[in-house]
Amino acid sequence: MDIINLCDHNSLLGQFMSEIRDKRIQQDRMRFRTNIHRLGQIMAYEISKRLQYNTVGVETPLGLKQCNVLGDKVVLSSILRAGLPFHEGFLSYFDGAENAFVSAYRKYIDDTDDFVVHIEYIASPRLDDKTLILVDPMLATGSSMELAYRALLTKGEPAHVHVASVVATPKAIDVIRQHLPEDRTTLWTCDIDDELNEHSYIVPGLGDCGDLLYGEKE
């Protein structure tokens, strides 16, 4: 499985990452959503370099030009709710993509920090022989991503899976490597943080991404 950490190379992505991590700047909810959207756009462009293209003739007002256009059939899938603006960033580049959505949440056990991940909802087109881009900003334990992938398999077997996150951990990367097809999976992240706290939140991370995007939940 290929693992691409976009923060390994300097770009404007680093600026946007610094802003979504900054506890003062991230209180501007609109700016936070905009930056997550921007990260989705940047990652969509990087992923597009790994896809298949077809050459077609395009007639201009003055002649004919051969152009390379996307050949892969792309399905964008996000995990609700934190994945939505990240998804929209991808969709603004892959504007012809089909879309899928999976609802996953942590169900805590007896008022403890222990939890299991539940899948409640899935809406997806057929995935057979298509390129699946599965996005979720925070890849902490990898459990939600694994279960979302398994749920999506009920809609068919994709030709290749691109897993995309804003921040990932080594633990989550190991889970993805174990449970997704290693020869047909590429993992993309804007950065990798090494630690999880007792609540399984990424440290230093950026906090609860869903709450920062949309407000606190009960």
> What does the block give as tokens for 24?
């003062």
CA 78 to chain centre: 7
What integer is the mean pLDDT of 127-142? 96
Is pLDDT above 70 for 105? no
Per-residue tokens: 171 = 């633990």
Residue 208 near residue 22 (C-beta atoms within 8 A): no
Q: Which amino acid is at 196?
A: L
Q: Which residues contact 218 (CB under 8 A, 6 or more apart)?
A: none
Give the C-alpha separation, 137 to 121, whole Å. Answer: 19
pTM: 0.92
Q: Decide yes or no: CATH 3.20.20.105 for domain 2-214.
A: no
- What is the mean predicted confidence (pLDDT) over 41-45? 98
Task: Give yes or no for residue 217 having a pLDDT over 90.
Answer: no
134 has a pLDDT exceeding 70 = yes
pLDDT tens digits, 147-162: 999 999 999 999 999 9
pLDDT tens digit string along 152-208?
A: 999 999 999 999 999 999 999 999 999 999 999 999 999 999 999 988 899 999 999
Kindly report the backbone phi and psi dihedral angles of residue 177, in degrees, each rounded to the nearest multiple of 5, phi listed first: -60, -35
pLDDT confidence of residue 106: 60
